[in-house]
Structure 1
Amino acid sequence: MTRTSPDHESPDDLPLGEGVLAKPSLRAEGLARRDALAPDVREEAARRLVRTLLALPELAGVGPIAGYWPLRSELDPRPALAALAERGHRIALPVVSEPSLVFRAWTPGTPLVRGPFGVEAPGPEAEVLHPRALLVPLARFDRACHRIGYGKGHYDRALAALERAGPVIAIGVAFSVQEAQTIPAEDHDRRLDLVVTEAEIVRAPHRAAGAAREA
């Protein structure tokens, strides 16, 4: 289901004119909301993510697909990644590197190594892939598919690098409680193409318009 209007507002949902100064409070509030979710809510969200991603037309036949290994209270995409791999997609996981992320091949059950920031990732022997779709973790999102990450800019740089070789679908993965009314966007911020939560699919305006024309 794709919705077009927000269903909640927060005191820290500041207007676009507040700019960068709004981002720290938006990020902190989103992470606090995410941290507060009960274990059963998290487990159900992970199960729903499997069904949602397998049904996404944007992922039909695309590959490779990059996921992420969950940190702290992030929505767990591992069951969905296993299901996508079973369907025949090549799966990659990000490795923190400079100047941007590197994506290495992963198959379910393959051992990982702990890298920078405590991120579990494939080892240096794993093949480097150039994904055409990315599952992107985040702190906050809005209905225009703007995103607040963790402040390091890793995914903005990675998407810019990957898109030099062709289009890449950027899919935010979040809980619905992480939605904000408005995210202040800067010139270097790359808008997501869609955001998937346990409750719905939110498509960026250009994607939603295209879907409406096809319908």
Structure 2
Amino acid sequence: MKPPRELKRELRREALARRDALDPSFRIEAALEMTEFARNSIEVEPGAIASGFWPMRSEVDVRPLMFALRENGARLCLPAILDKTTMIFRELVRGAALVDMGFGTAGPGDEAEALDPSIMLVPLAAFDTRGHRIGYGAGYYDRAISRLTDAGHAPRLIGIAFDCQEVPTVPDEPHDVIIPEILTESGLRRFTASL
């Protein structure tokens, strides 16, 4: 039996290959479909802080979804990579310049306010029906979620992916954060936590 990290690498590579193979027009339509699902299923308290992400490569473009959350009263933020282990979230203000965050993403600069999101749209490479996810391997989201939880916050975690990124089982590791909801082009799926 292969070690969990090696299995995760294989599952990540296969799921990302399937995602990369999706027609770009389909990806656009799917992102808009997800926005409509979210309008009906993600309630936002006025002033709630929602984190999104700047899409890279063939990821779901969550910008329409983020704007829908803003229309419903949310303040928006994007991740900012501070160093090799630390990611925080900075407010996304209309008209403010974005800076290169590495990895092909952009985000607000140092002058933007750091925020603690109450709703997090979480990118992922693969997921299973238990809400286990495979990220991109650097652990930024696992550490950021852990930091927020340790500080007494309990953000609503919503993974964002295409249906083709689902895998039968993600190998469990102690540091893994379970994502109880995944939004795909088929709708918002809620999972019950189980090992």
Query: What is the RMSD of the two structures over their aligned residues, measured on CA atoms?
Result: 1.8
Which residue number corresponds to residue 141 of structure 1? 127
Q: Tell me the CA shift for residue 185 of structure 1.
A: 1.3
Q: Which has the higher contact order (CA 8 A, sep 6+)?
A: 1
1:130 to 99, 116, 126: 116
| Structure 1: unaligned runs, 5 residues or longer | 1-14, 208-215
| Contact 1:82–1:108 under 8 Å retained in 2 | no
Which residue number corresponds to residue 181 of structure 1? 168
Give the stretch that moved more between structures: 101-110 or 156-165.
Answer: 101-110
Q: Per residue, is there more strand in 1 or in 2?
A: 2
Q: Distance in 2 between matches of 1:33 and 1:107?
A: 34
Q: Distance in 2 between matches of 1:163 and 1:204?
A: 20
| Contact 1:144–1:203 under 8 Å retained in 2 | no
Which residue number corresponds to residue 45 of structure 2? 61
Give the stretch that moved more between structures: 42-51 or 70-79.
Answer: 42-51
| Contact 2:131–2:191 under 8 Å retained in 1 | yes
Q: Distance in 2 between matches of 1:29 and 1:191?
A: 21
Counting matched residue pairs gives 191
Which residue number corresponds to residue 141 of structure 2? 155
- Within a 5 Å distance, the mapping from 1:1-215 to structure 2 comes to 19-57=4-42, 59-61=43-45, 63-98=48-83, 99-164=85-150, 165-206=152-193
Q: Distance in 2 between matches of 1:41 and 1:61?
A: 31
Q: Per residue, is there more helix in 1 or in 2?
A: 1
| Structure 2: unaligned runs, 5 residues or longer | none
| Contact 2:56–2:103 under 8 Å retained in 1 | no
Which residue number corresponds to residue 210 of structure 1? none
Q: Tell me the CA shift for residue 118 of structure 1.
A: 3.0
Deviations 1:98-155 (A, max 9, x none): 4421100003443211123232010111111100111011110000010001000000
